Structure 1
Amino acid sequence: MTWKSFHRRGEILRTLITTADTRRDGLLPMDVEGVAETFGDELSLVGALSLRWHTRLAGRIERELMTQPMDLEATVVAAWRRTAGELPGIRAILDHYRERPGDAAMADALARATAKEHVLLAVMAGRSSAADRTAVRVGEQIEQRARATAAVAA
């Protein structure tokens, strides 16, 4: 990938995210100019959006823990909620395709990404180690708590 194509890809991804944030319908905005040519297919696009979500979430958790290191789980929950507020379109797309993947490859990719996210949540909340078999379940509970408290706050 050349620098020009790298920057073009980033520009299209930003436009796509803005469109997704506006629509919030959970559907991939494949109609955005340049998306099909740049990302090729829905799986590649979901992968790029999943990476953007995970990177932002991990960074947000790190920043939140710097200012509120005493209640790890509450801080991780707050970080998840803030990230969902910053990237509502991506969150809606990931939720939609997690429930209704386009094909088996997308279902597998999203299941693996979700499991990794849940491990991140559990580990950063101090509730598990990455090697612990219960980490995914614990992280899922933390995500559910974040979603529940976000719904109450809304």
Structure 2
Amino acid sequence: MTWNSHRNRGEILRAVIAAADARVDGLLPLDVEGATTAFHDELDLLGALQLRWHTRLSGRIERELVHQPMALEDAVVAAWRGTADEMPGVRAVLDHYRAEPRDEVMAAALRKASAKEHHLLAVMAGQAGTHATAAAARAGARIEARARAGWRPGASLEPAVAHRSAGLLGRLRAALAA
């Protein structure tokens, strides 16, 4: 893959994410210009969305753990909810295809991605070691279920938008006040 095709693929992925977040219908936005040429098939695009979700979730967990170092599970739950608020369309797409995969290859890929996410959640919540085990998978699934149970789509989006639009001085004031 050349640098230009890699960069174009990234731009198209951003457009796909924006379309998914605008629609929140759970369907892959294959009608985005370039999506069908930049990605080999639905599974390729779904994998890119899964990777973007996982990367954003991992980063958000790290940030939450800085703010809640003694309440690990609460931090992980807050991070999952915050990521879902930031990427509601992507979350809807992943959930839709996990529940209704196109074929067994897609089902297997999404099961594996879900297991890895559950392991991440359990490890970061201090409930599992680095080796993936059945107990880690159960703990991660429980943490995800807890995050989903208290998640209200868009509930935490307003403060984030207000904070982003506050400008540098507003963010500095907020940081100093905290």
Task: Give the TM bin, normalised by the shorter chain.
Answer: over 0.9
TM superposition shift of 1:142: 0.2
One-letter amino acid matched to 2:125: A
Distance in 1 of aligned mates of 2:108 and 2:89:
21
Measured in 2, the distance between the counterparts of 1:143 and 1:50 equals: 15
Which position in structure 1 is the counterpart of 2:124?
Answer: 124
Matches within 5 A, 1:135-154: 135-151=136-152, 154=155
Residue 47 (structure 2) aligns with:
47
- What value does the CA root-mean-square deviation take over the aligned residues? 1.3
4+ runs deviating over 6 angstroms: none
How far the C-alpha of 1:152 sits from its partner, in A, is 9.5
* Alpha-carbon distance in 2 for matches of 1:153, 1:3: 36
Q: Per-residue CA shift, 1:32-64, capped at 9, x if unaligned?
A: 110000002000000000000000000100111
- Is residue 2 from structure 1 mapped to residue 7 from structure 2 by the alignment? no
1:21-32 equivalences in 2 (<5 Å): 21-32=21-32
- Structure 2 SS opposite 1:4: helix
Q: Return the letter of the residue paired with 2:134.
A: R
Q: What is the match of residue 35 of structure 2?
A: 35
Q: 1:12 — aligned with what?
A: 12
Question: Based on CA coordinates, which of the two structures has the bigger radius of gyration?
Answer: 2
Measured in 2, the distance between the counterparts of 1:139 and 1:151 equals 20
- Going from structure 1 to structure 2, the CA distance change for 1:102 and 1:47 (only over 3 Å counts) comes to same
CA distance in 1, matches of 2:145, 2:85: 15
SS in structure 1 opposite 2:134?
Answer: coil
Shift of 1:153: 8.9
The structure, 1 or 2, with the larger RCO (C-alpha pairs under 8 Å, 6+ apart) is 1
**What is the CA distance between 1:109 and its match in structure 2?**
0.3
Structure 1 spans left out of the alignment, 5+ residues: none
Write the mapping of 1:105-120 to structure 2, written as runs, cut at 5 A: 105-120=105-120
Structure 2 distance, partners of 1:130, 1:116, is 11
Contact 2:84 / 2:153 at 8 angstroms: preserved in 1?
no
TM-score, normalisation: structure 2 = 0.84
| Length, aligned pairs only | 154
1:130 Cα deviation (Å)? 3.0
Report the alpha carbon displacement of residue 133 of structure 1 after superposing the two structures with TM: 2.7
Local SS of the residue matching 2:70: coil
Does residue 77 of structure 2 align to residue 77 of structure 1?
Answer: yes
Identity %: 62
**CA shift in 2, pair 1:152/1:10, >3 Å:** closer
